Structure 1
Amino acid sequence: MSKSVARLGIGGPVGSGKTALLECLVPMLTRQNIEVAVVTNDLLTTEDADRLKRKGFLPESKIIGVETGSCPHTAIREDPTMNLLAVKDLELLYPQLDLIFIESGGDNLASTFSYDLVDSYIFVIDVGAGDDIPRKNGPGFVQADLVVINKIDLAPYVGADLDLIRQQAPEHRRGKPIFYTNCKTGNGLERVRDFILETVLFREIVGNTN
């Protein structure tokens, strides 16, 4: 299946903040006149899609929930057929789309996307999972085009050393970008948005894009 609309994967463990990140990024991008749609993955429900629909920032028809019925990484890597069909439906319904987000179901640090499905992908982890996550060298964390380390505000409450994460994460990412975010306050989200504009959509960032 040939690609026509830019596709960006959002992966990461359960509870890392993938859907919360989308809730922040979609309005930021639409304010830049970027036409966006979303495909979410859950095992046996459309919970994440329903959550995004309740936000009301996109027409409901621009949000498709895929029930994978299997290990989450299977539907984004080994056999992405269901996701490819959802993408095709969105492309046919909205030919003017600039970007389709494909959110994986919550998975582990080994979760990666097939590049037959996406052009690039973001891997989301959260500080609440511990400051040892970068040292575990999970393929999702190491190989992703961008890593977002989320919930940085939680560090003092869960005994995580944010300074240690900032020191060790770049060593394992080998120069690939890492951004630190707090979806509640908006801290760091502009950098994620600009990464999407520049690296995924090849748009020039001019002046203040808030």
Structure 2
Amino acid sequence: MQAEHDHEADHDHPHPHGDPHHPLPDSERALRIGIGGPVGSGKTALVAALCRALSDDLRVAVVTNDIYTTEDADFLLRNGVLPAERIRAVETGCCPHTAIRDDISANLDAIEELEESLGPLDVILVESGGDNLTATFSRGLVDRQIFVVDVAGGDKVPRKGGPGVTSADLLVINKTDLAPLVGADLGVMERDAAARRGDLPTVFLSLVEDRAAKPVQEWIRGLVP
């Protein structure tokens, strides 16, 4: 599996308030999917896999968020997952979730630039910088959000909850191939995720074994008009 290059520090301050923006209006435009999660959970590797899998038959573009660098965008470019003109990098200069929930203007500008330069798109993936379990996307920025955690953090992660785990439209428990090495019980994670999330879906993923991220890819395809 390709390693994710995510250097933002984790943050432990509480979720300060609700979404300050109005939800996106229904219209004929690209489906916007937010992808968030803690540092090192595999967000950029997942984005790369989705770009490869979806771009065969869908018009895809990506916006990445990093605090002080364009490292995640550079990773995607080096690996040739999309042409360079389909990738935009946002340097947030602040706590990662600020740019995806509180002041979303830089991300909205990047999306607008992509749509103006490329024409009609089917899917835009918006990757957050690495953050903690409180990170959520504004519904004024994305239509749906995916939250990625990994088994290396321990099987207690879903039990800890937090808005990212409990409210994301899709929870991805990533790097399942590492479970035997770190003593993580996938059955416990599945049980706790179900208890925290109710009817919201959870998928288990190993990009070592499934380089096309098939369950996540299929979930996104089911949302594309």
Question: Which structure 2 residues correspond to residues 92-111 of structure 1 after superposition, within 5 A?
Answer: 92-111=116-135
- 1:169 to partner: Cα distance: 1.1
2:40 to 15, 32, 46: 15
Structure 2: how far apart are the matches of 1:183 and 1:128?
A: 14
Structure 2: how far apart are the matches of 1:51 and 1:79?
A: 25
| Percentage of pairs with the same residue | 51
After superposition, the C-alpha distances for 1:103-134 in whole angstroms (9 at most, x for unaligned) are: 00000000000000000010000000011111
The equivalent residue for 1:192 is: 216
TM-score by length of 2: 0.86
Report if aligned partners of 1:180, 1:188 keep a CA contact under 8 Å in 2: no
Structure 1: how far apart are the matches of 2:114 and 2:188?
A: 42
- Structure 1 runs (4+) greater than 3 angstroms displaced: none
1:84 to 108, 115, 119: 108
Report if aligned partners of 2:159, 2:189 keep a CA contact under 8 Å in 1: no
Residues matched between the structures, number:
200
The equivalent residue for 2:156 is: 132
Question: Which structure 2 residues correspond to residues 46-85 of structure 1 after superposition, within 5 A?
Answer: 46-85=70-109
- 1:57 to partner: Cα distance: 2.5
- 1:25 to partner: Cα distance: 1.0
TM-score by length of 1: 0.92
The equivalent residue for 1:156 is: 180
- 1:188 to partner: Cα distance: 8.2
Structure 1: how far apart are the matches of 2:124 and 2:85?
A: 13
The equivalent residue for 2:51 is: 26
Q: Which runs of 5+ in 1 are unaligned?
A: 203-210
After superposition, the C-alpha distances for 1:13-38 in whole angstroms (9 at most, x for unaligned) are: 0000000101111111112x101000
Report if aligned partners of 1:181, 1:187 keep a CA contact under 8 Å in 2: no
Q: Which runs of 5+ in 2 are unaligned?
A: 1-23
Q: Give the letter for the 1:153 counterpart.
A: D
After superposition, the C-alpha distances for 1:130-177 in whole angstroms (9 at most, x for unaligned) are: 111111111011000000000001111112111211222111111100
Report if aligned partners of 1:9, 1:120 keep a CA contact under 8 Å in 2: yes
Q: Give the letter for the 1:83 counterpart.
A: N
Cα RMSD for the two superposed structures: 1.4
Report if aligned partners of 1:43, 1:105 keep a CA contact under 8 Å in 2: yes
Structure 2: how far apart are the matches of 1:75 and 1:168?
A: 29
Q: For 2:102, what is the secondary structure of its paired residue? A: coil
Structure 1: how far apart are the matches of 2:107 and 2:40?
A: 21
Q: Give the letter for the 1:75 counterpart.
A: A
Q: Once structures 1 and 2 are overlaid, which stretch shifts more, 123-132 or 153-162? A: 153-162
The equivalent residue for 1:205 is: none
Report if aligned partners of 2:159, 2:193 keep a CA contact under 8 Å in 1: yes
Structure 2: how far apart are the matches of 1:162 and 1:194?
A: 22
After superposition, the C-alpha distances for 1:3-56 in whole angstroms (9 at most, x for unaligned) are: 62211000000000000101111111112x101000000000000000000111
1:116 to 119, 122, 140: 140
The equivalent residue for 1:208 is: none
Report if aligned partners of 1:39, 1:63 keep a CA contact under 8 Å in 2: yes
Report if aligned partners of 1:181, 1:188 keep a CA contact under 8 Å in 2: no
Q: Give the letter for the 1:27 counterpart.
A: R
The equivalent residue for 2:68 is: 44
